[in-house]
Structure 1
């Protein structure tokens, strides 16, 4: 086991990722991961499905993810040789688990990138005259341009990536804080919207109660709410590039409950106080709608720019994490060895190009599926199913860690609250989430397609990875 006290003083190997992300970068990137496209674009639809009970949904999911991140944090800090989930799963469960979680996480973020492209087009339509939209070719070209921009940012240095993500996250934080303050003022001044509704905290519960759509609506709300949390585990892919991880990772993980309450619960409480939940359009960002209803056109434009920057931030983080996953997979012989090569700037450039090539397929999706909401829903649904399996493996890793490495748990200064029994509770919640996703019409296509991924990974593991490992072991 290594320690982090001298991790910044020891020269980095030219073939290893370097610890260039500071505490400032890590904290803001962790916040950025908790404020994703699902919150800005998906919350309108989630509110239409669940009504005010969306607040309870976010608190439940947020609580579960706090324990997922505490489990992940304890494992990563128990052995600083772990660079990401791949090393962790490979060591604690087996090579098959490392192969599965690595490639699943890579594919999951590719799908996030494709969903983000759909969201970008949706937000850009804000500036077009009513009744008009981009042509399919126009959508495809805009998507391609966004992918190339993100690729260019990531090809430079990890420190630059951290700096750009820092400012992306800061913009999101300031925007949400501004929305809470302005919305709060509108409530206290009893602002009257053009629709005739008066801003009041009672709007949250006076239009059918907290559960206006009943139990079915409450359960349906989990669908997109879960997508909003994709990325909260992003700091788990940055362990190899974080300065002083024993100090900085716990700070980032422990701040998750505060972020959930502030950025999800309080923000949407204010939104539904200003505009009754049944007047919020399902296909628009409620954050932009709040200012439009208030008649503050300039603020609506600014908020639309903010949600655009949020989507670009999500895609930027996704490209970063997929390239690091490919680097880890290649190091273990689970991906082409070329993907383990670093550029002169210590960046896995070939992994970046490989990932961006697949995200570019999202530009083609915009051409063949010009309905941005439909494209977003399909990609996000596939993504959520993938990530449920990834989060589940993290919890299984924790259970195995407690069984196989009890001495490391005893030494840990960052023990997961609840330990093994809480891990099982989280696994039950994730199984429940997968169960309620399957019957929903919007996720039915994703549920049908998902088994194909399982079959593909099983076949490639048996036919490609295992023979390669057998050959490597014979040569040693």
Structure 2
């Protein structure tokens, strides 16, 4: 395809950016995965989500600070590169790229499983490939089409949660037919923390993975007409909405349903709606979860391609990936990001359990490591900016450097919790293996660049 442009196009509007920020954090993990957290933590899952949400908000705030200082950098991997050097940008870029291409495959398989609810006889691999193809074409068409799809996907998810909150609060506070004000489920069945305080903190490990995606808005800033304003507005709105949507909805679930109810483990939101005798509850929530999966798939393709494009700009990926079509879309970067997804979907046909488990385990701690490097980068960049260019700090990280240090310590503590949990230890080991591979690749890449430089000098 002939290169028509040398720059990504700024076609994302403020409304796109706001919904990308909101939609990025509201995925299938909230609608389905929250049941596992509630079942293993009890009603105290409210605090688990609050603590995890606070941690993610702090990381996104750090990203927003760096993005408003360097809005044209392209992504937070380049901010890490500016602060920590080439090794940081290389590591964050490739690890984040791998995380999302693996998630794309996971979500394609998950989305196909949801569609089988309505089409039980349709082969899983055909449905998975169909979802991949449709959303790949969406991303290839233009960045505006990605923004529009994400806008409407996010709108549906947010509307569903708001509706769920309204209905839930009506029930809890006695405004629903044949109900009275009742918070008994918060203290019965073993108390508020039936599995102890330790379980509250261990649950953060699972919840953190549900929040990954809220940082996509800082990547999209490079294709926004007003990056500084859009990122600032989007991240500020995220702060209160993340607590309303996540903590509010978890509060509704644990108030209405006993935490140890087996139905909660499967699908807590469907369980609540069925208890309230909402007609077609399973149908509605299955559709909402499918939208959440498609949204994650859409964002994953976008994030992976832009991260790969940024790596190519710095010479850490083939320069051929810089080719853009006439609408400023990095076509090759998008297609390369789908290769693992297509390969995984095909392999899943032959080895369904093995492939899915490998993808989940190998990405388990990768995003957390990326967050850790981002936090360290912000700590270093902010110190330099305070001395050299304080006027550039238009959107500041709160209580610097104390909250940054707390974030770094918290992420390290989560790694320790993963290592202490036998059921999650394999995720830590496989993720560390991926991180090691990236560092080995950087070593050889650095050596290759050094040899080329030496050859030029000799010549």
Scaled by the length of structure 2, what TM-score is found?
0.91
Asked if residue 153 in structure 1 is aligned to residue 138 in structure 2, the reply is yes
Once the 2 structures are TM-superposed, how far is the Cα of residue 99 of structure 1 from its aligned partner? 0.6
The worse-fitting range, judged by mean Cα deviation, of 217-226 and 24-33 is: 217-226
**Contact 2:366–2:435 (8 Å) recurs in 1:** no
**Alignment partners' CA distance in 2, 1:469 and 1:18:** 34
**Contact 1:92–1:397 (8 Å) recurs in 2:** yes
Asked if residue 41 in structure 1 is aligned to residue 32 in structure 2, the reply is yes
**Alignment partners' CA distance in 2, 1:347 and 1:472:** 32
Once the 2 structures are TM-superposed, how far is the Cα of residue 280 of structure 1 from its aligned partner? 4.7
- What is the match of residue 92 of structure 1? 83
Provide the secondary structure at the position in 1 that maps to 2:280. helix
User: 1:402-441 to 2 correspondence within 5 Å?
Assistant: 402-406=382-386, 407-441=388-422
159, 163, 166: which one aligns with 1:174: 159
The worse-fitting range, judged by mean Cα deviation, of 381-390 and 350-359 is: 381-390
Asked if residue 77 in structure 1 is aligned to residue 62 in structure 2, the reply is no
**Alignment partners' CA distance in 2, 1:36 and 1:321:** 15
The worse-fitting range, judged by mean Cα deviation, of 39-48 and 293-302 is: 293-302
**Contact 1:280–1:286 (8 Å) recurs in 2:** no
Asked if residue 18 in structure 1 is aligned to residue 3 in structure 2, the reply is no
Deviations 1:5-54 (A, max 9, x none): xxxxxxxx921111111110000110001212211221111111111111
Once the 2 structures are TM-superposed, how far is the Cα of residue 64 of structure 1 from its aligned partner? 1.7
Provide the secondary structure at the position in 2 that maps to 1:278. coil
Aligned length, in residue pairs:
452
Gaps of 5+ in 2: none
Deviations 1:405-438 (A, max 9, x none): 3233354221111112221110000001111112
**Alignment partners' CA distance in 1, 2:203 and 2:347:** 26
What is the root-mean-square deviation of aligned Cα atoms in Å? 2.5
- What is the match of residue 312 of structure 1? 294
User: 1:34-433 to 2 correspondence within 5 Å?
Assistant: 34-127=25-118, 138-187=123-172, 188-189=174-175, 200-281=182-263, 284-364=266-346, 366-368=348-350, 370=352, 379-406=359-386, 407-433=388-414
**Alignment partners' CA distance in 1, 2:374 and 2:78:** 12
**Alignment partners' CA distance in 2, 1:318 and 1:473:** 39
Asked if residue 450 in structure 1 is aligned to residue 441 in structure 2, the reply is no
Residues 49 and 127 of structure 1: is their aligned pair in 2 closer, same or farther, counting only changes over 3 Å?
A: farther
**Contact 1:125–1:134 (8 Å) recurs in 2:** yes
What stretches of structure 1 move > 6 A for 4+ residues in a row? 374-377
**Alignment partners' CA distance in 2, 1:234 and 1:383:** 17
**Contact 1:37–1:116 (8 Å) recurs in 2:** no
Residues 186 and 381 of structure 1: is their aligned pair in 2 closer, same or farther, counting only changes over 3 Å?
A: farther
Provide the secondary structure at the position in 2 that maps to 1:27. helix
Deviations 1:443-475 (A, max 9, x none): 222222223212321222222354136536976
**Alignment partners' CA distance in 2, 1:101 and 1:242:** 22
Provide the secondary structure at the position in 2 that maps to 1:58. helix
**Alignment partners' CA distance in 1, 2:272 and 2:109:** 22
**Alignment partners' CA distance in 2, 1:207 and 1:450:** 37
Once the 2 structures are TM-superposed, how far is the Cα of residue 350 of structure 1 from its aligned partner? 0.6
**Contact 2:7–2:328 (8 Å) recurs in 1:** yes
**Alignment partners' CA distance in 1, 2:397 and 2:259:** 37
Provide the secondary structure at the position in 1 that maps to 2:124. helix
